[in-house]
Amino acid sequence: MPVPDPKTFTRILKTAQENDYAIASINVTNSNTINAALAAFVETKTDGIIQVSTGGGEHASGPAKDMALGAIAMAEYVHRIAADLPIYVALTTDHCVQDKVDKFLRPLIAESKRRVDRGQEPLFNGHMFDGSELPLGKNMEISKELLASMAPLGMLLEVEAGVVGGEEDGIDNTHAAAEKLYTTPEDMVFVYESLKDIGPFTFAATFGNVHGVYKPGNVKLEPKILRDGQAAVVAKYGPEAKLDLVFHGGSGTPIEEIHETLHYGIIKMNVDTDCQYHFTRAIVDHMMKNYDGVLRIDGEMGDKKTYDPRSYMKKAEASMKSRVIQAATELKSLGKSLFS
């Protein structure tokens, strides 16, 4: 049961919250990137999360070009491959904006309902709705409806208020207004009040974080925004109301700022851009070092051992695995699997 059931996933997040560490959530696009993440978690006895974006799902579906179908296929792959592994690996989805809800989130929720109706666990542990570009009231209106359909199945909803800058998977917030990059304490209270009576949720509050990797000084993070928002929620509703927060756009963040956010309730951090780079970097290295082998030059036949995709995909997986291990180390979750 390495894909945790709902109660176990709740326990994983609760333990992270209580002990000031966070779970690494790794975006995947195919079986190779899934294998890299799983290998990192297994090697270090670390629980983790594998997540699928709309673009990742569409890519995985091949000629079908069906983002939900691709996400289902990758989730089923994880359930099969991870079944006997000695760690927990949860499954979630990443940013889904309003105009993709009907062709991504709703089909995935329906697939989990079919599984639950058969006596199985849901396919995914949770989904993310990104309503950050909407007025907060409309954002929460849609979030409440989605959570109401997910909670009975044992799934949690991740929501976002405030905009994560930069660009990822076709969601371009490069030119977002500066004030939108910072969630206010009032926003955090409103999100809590909107969802607290419906079901479990996590909250991607924004504090200047951006997707992608930037040179030092180009990104101005304000982690104390999370502290102040949590304080506002706890002051009104008590310590049990402390929010489970998610850190988006974490690639390239200084280690001291990552550690600061752990004290303010971050229990999950998404890592995508750096994993993409590490995966691709190893392939480029292989091609440049084996140029005469991977190509049939001047009438030669090349070297099958070097153009066999397995030769460079193994290297790509190993390189991405190292970045996933780095993420777990930075988040202080390394070796803290609850699997026994």
How do residues 287-307 score in pLDDT, each as one tens digit? 999 999 999 988 889 999 999
Beta strands of the chain (E only): which ranges?
Answer: 23-27, 48-52, 89-93, 126-129, 156-161, 166-168, 171-173, 201-205, 245-247, 266-271
Catalytic residue among 47, 94, 130, 169: 94
Which pLDDT score, from 0 to 100, does residue 340 have? 80
C-alpha triplet 140, 144, 150: angle, nearest 5°: 140
pTM, 2 dp: 0.91
φ, ψ for residue 229 (rounded to 5)? -65, -40
5 and 121 in contact (C-beta within 8 Å)? yes
As a whole number, mean pLDDT of residues 64-75 equals 98
pLDDT digits (tens, 9 = 90+) for 158-180: 999 875 544 445 444 444 445 55
Mean pLDDT check: name the lowest of 147-156, 205-214, 222-231, 269-278: 205-214
Is the per-residue pLDDT at 326 higher than 70? yes
**Mean pLDDT, to the nearest integer, of 124-139?**
95
Could you give the dihedral angle defined by the CA atoms of residues 315, 320, 323 and 324, in that order, rounded to the nearest 10 degrees?
Answer: -130
Instruction: Determine the Cα–Cα distance for residues 39 and 31; give it in Å rounded to an integer.
Output: 12
Per-residue pLDDT, averaged over 101-125, amounts to: 98
Q: SS3 for 69-100, per residue?
A: HHHHHHHHHHHHHCCCCCCCEEEEECCCCHHH
Place of tokens 């993420």: 327
Q: Find the range with the poorest average confidence among 2-6, 53-57, 164-168, 322-326.
A: 164-168
Each residue of 247-264: b (16+ CB within 10 Å) or e? bbbbbbbeeebbbbbbeb
**What are the distances in angstroms from CA 292 to CA 23, 309, 310, 315, 316?**
42, 16, 18, 18, 20
Q: Is 94 a catalytic residue?
A: yes
Mean per-residue pLDDT of the chain:
91
> What's the angle, vertex CA 335, arms to CA 279 and CA 315, rounded to 5?
20
pLDDT bucket at 207, cuts 50 / 70 / 90: confident
Written as six digits, the tokens of 147 are 């959570």
Question: Which runs of consecutive H residues, i.e. helices, occur in 19-135?
Answer: 31-44, 54-60, 67-81, 106-117
Lowest mean pLDDT across 119-123, 201-205, 207-211: 207-211
339 vs 2, 9, 19, 47, CA distance in Å?
8, 11, 17, 8
Per-residue pLDDT tens over the stretch 241-290: 999 999 987 666 789 989 999 999 999 999 999 999 999 999 999 999 99
Q: What is the pLDDT of residues 22-53, one digit of tens each?
A: 999 999 999 999 999 999 999 999 999 999 99
> What pLDDT is stored for residue 230 in this prediction?
97
Question: What value does the mean pLDDT take over residues 154-161?
Answer: 96
Please give the Cα distance from 53 to 265 (Å, whole number).
Answer: 24
Q: What is the pLDDT of residue 277?
A: 96
CATH topology of domain 6-273+321-330: TIM Barrel (3.20.20)
Domain residue spans of the chain: 6-273+321-330
The predicted structure's pLDDT at residue 290? 97
Torsions phi, psi for 243 (to 5 deg) = -80, 145
Percent share of the chain, pLDDT over 70: 90
Asked if pLDDT for residue 156 goes beyond 60, the answer is yes
Question: b/e for 304-321, b at 16 or more Cβ within 10 A?
Answer: eebbeeebbbbbbbebbb
